[in-house]
């Protein structure tokens, strides 16, 4: 992925190198409620920006030379130019960008006729992503310089250090979708409340694995002093643990945007919320033995190209590292719970199941129980690609140290 697609931004002027581990207190002050309308948020940000780095799409200088297009251009010709590597700037309507990308999608689909299996679908998406990044839009004074464009509060939140720049149009679409989720929230049935995911933070659009964990927690009769949610994302599992009356819940994530997101969720909770969030690779700095470790790892084997991809794709080394570290951190009578899916094995029957691999030869953990449930379709509201769940099962694996 081109280097200008993602960058990290830091509001603090402190030149001291940031620690690889940033701990955020669970006693953060409760901020004022988020305004119901977009304009109220754009005019006055309700929450303080986290001191530290967060990811954002990298801005392109306005001086960048690029060919302008408008509604009068032939969309199909523009699509061919994008595939050939030419950069184009949408100069009039937001819908011109949408129509150009739609033409690009049709062009690439014609080049790949027939049904697309899992592998061919990934190839198509990769090709579309490469070409679509050549379509740009202008941001001026933290607003899109396009007619009938949506208000996107992330421009002032993430780009406080610059107000005029260019962005790839797909990144603008991503910022817009993320802003809508952040302002409106997403209903999480197992929490009976909404969460408001920060930009670049993974959040669930299917809930059967969370329902499995909720049912498991109701039957759990072990100690409830200290639990750890590894790779917390938007914090759902950590908040489920808090809901289950754990005295302390450590939530970790290597994505600083996820840490920012959970910090804000903690601030919306009562002052007694037991969740503490840390930016860390897998486990944080807590040295006390963990009575319960919960991990909802990525479900698809592949390369991650952005921070949020790390919540979706896993490499071959991830599970080996995780099980090795978990064995060192878990209490003698502790439990390890992993929420997984048969998605990868359904798409590729030769793909190894990483949890079964640990049980058969890893030597760190033994199986206590495994529960499975038929997968359901993702929320109709999300723009994420829908998969046929007919042959997919979500899984809850309960393990104990050997």
Domains of the chain as residue ranges with CATH:
3-183 (no CATH), 186-401 (3.40.50.150)
Question: How many C-alpha atoms does 221 have within 13 Å on its Cβ side?
Answer: 1
Question: What is the structure's pLDDT at 18?
Answer: 29
Q: How far apart are CA 261 and CA 255, in angstroms?
A: 10
Question: What is the structure's pLDDT at 118?
Answer: 67
* pLDDT above 50: residue 36: no
Q: What is the three-class DSSP state of 370?
A: strand
Q: Are 155 and 143 a contacting pair, CB within 8 Å?
A: yes
126-140, 152-166, 297-311, 368-382: lowest mean pLDDT where? 368-382
Q: What is the DSSP string of 7-65?
A: EEEE-----SPPPS-EEE-TTPPPPPPPPSSHHHHHHS-SSPPPSSEEEEPPPB-TT--
Q: How far apart are CA 240 and CA 222, in angstroms?
A: 16
The CA-to-CA distance between both ends of the chain, in Å, stands at: 41
* Burial degree of 287 (CB within 10 A; 0-12, 13-18, 19+): exposed
Show Cβ contacts of residue 173 under 8 Å, excluding neighbours closer than 6 positions.
Answer: none
Question: What is the structure's pLDDT at 285?
Answer: 82
**DSSP secondary-structure letter at 360?**
I
Question: What is the structure's pLDDT at 276?
Answer: 96
Q: Are 10 and 56 a contacting pair, CB within 8 Å?
A: no
pLDDT band at 69 (very low <50, low <70, confident <90, very high): very high
Q: Are 401 and 327 a contacting pair, CB within 8 Å?
A: yes
**Dihedrals φ, ψ of 188, to 5°?**
-110, 105
Q: How far apart are CA 240 and CA 189, in angstroms?
A: 11
Q: How far apart are CA 119 and CA 125, in angstroms?
A: 10
**Dihedrals φ, ψ of 4, to 5°?**
-85, 0
Q: What is the CA radius of gyration of the chain?
A: 22
**What are the tokens at 338?**
């992993």
pLDDT band at 343 (very low <50, low <70, confident <90, very high): confident
Give me the chain's average pLDDT, please: 84
Q: How far apart are CA 34 and CA 197, in angstroms?
A: 13
* pLDDT above 60: residue 4: no
The torsion of the CA quartet 373, 378, 379, 382, rounded to 10 degrees, works out to 150
- 34 vs 90, more confident: 90
Question: What is the structure's pLDDT at 47?
Answer: 38
Q: What whole-number percentage of the chain has pLDDT above 70?
A: 82
pLDDT in tens, 109-161: 998 776 666 677 878 888 999 999 999 999 999 999 999 999 999 999 999 99
Q: What is the three-class DSSP state of 152?
A: coil
């Amino acid at each position: 992925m081109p280097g200008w697609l993602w960058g990290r931004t830091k509001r603090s002027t402190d030149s001291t190198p940031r620690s690889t581990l940033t701990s955020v207190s669970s006693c953060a002050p409760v901020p004022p409620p988020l305004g119901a309308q977009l304009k109220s948020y754009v005019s006055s940000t309700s929450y303080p920006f986290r001191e530290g780095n967060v990811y954002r799409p990298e801005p392109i200088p306005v001086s960048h030379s690029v060919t302008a297009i408008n509604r009068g251009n032939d969309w199909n010709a523009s699509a061919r130019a994008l595939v050939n590597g030419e950069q184009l700037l949408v100069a009039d309507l937001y819908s011109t960008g949408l129509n150009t990308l739609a033409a690009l999608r049709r062009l690439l689909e014609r080049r790949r006729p027939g049904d697309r299996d899992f592998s061919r679908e990934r190839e198509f998406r990769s090709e579309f992503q490469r070409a679509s990044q050549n379509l740009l839009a202008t941001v001026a004074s933290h607003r899109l310089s396009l007619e009938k464009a949506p208000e996107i509060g992330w421009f002032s939140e993430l780009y406080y250090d610059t107000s005029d720049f260019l962005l790839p149009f797909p990144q603008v679409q991503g910022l817009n979708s993320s802003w809508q989720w952040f302002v409106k929230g997403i209903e999480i049935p197992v929490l009976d409340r909404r969460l408001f995911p920060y930009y670049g933070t993974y959040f669930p659009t299917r809930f059967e694995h969370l329902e499995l964990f909720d049912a498991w927690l109701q039957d759990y009769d072990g100690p409830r002093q200290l639990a750890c949610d590894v790779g917390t994302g938007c914090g759902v599992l950590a908040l489920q643990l808090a809901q289950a009356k754990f005295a302390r819940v450590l939530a970790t994530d290597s994505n600083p945007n996820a840490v920012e997101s959970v910090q804000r969720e903690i601030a919306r909770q009562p002052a007694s919320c037991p969740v503490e969030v840390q930016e860390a690779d897998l486990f944080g700095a807590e040295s006390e033995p963990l009575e319960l470790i919960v991990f909802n790892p990525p479900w698809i084997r592949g390369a991650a190209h952005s921070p949020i991809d790390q919540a979706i794709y896993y490499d071959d080394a991830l599970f080996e590292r995780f099980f090795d570290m978990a064995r060192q951190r878990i209490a003698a009578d502790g439990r390890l719970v992993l929420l997984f899916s048969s998605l990868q094995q359904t798409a590729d029957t030769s793909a190894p199941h990483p949890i079964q691999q640990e049980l058969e030869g890893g030597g760190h953990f033994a199986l206590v129980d495994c529960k499975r449930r038929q997968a359901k379709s993702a929320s109709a509201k999300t723009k994420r690609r829908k998969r046929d769940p007919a042959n997919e099962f979500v899984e809850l694996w309960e393990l104990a140290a050997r």
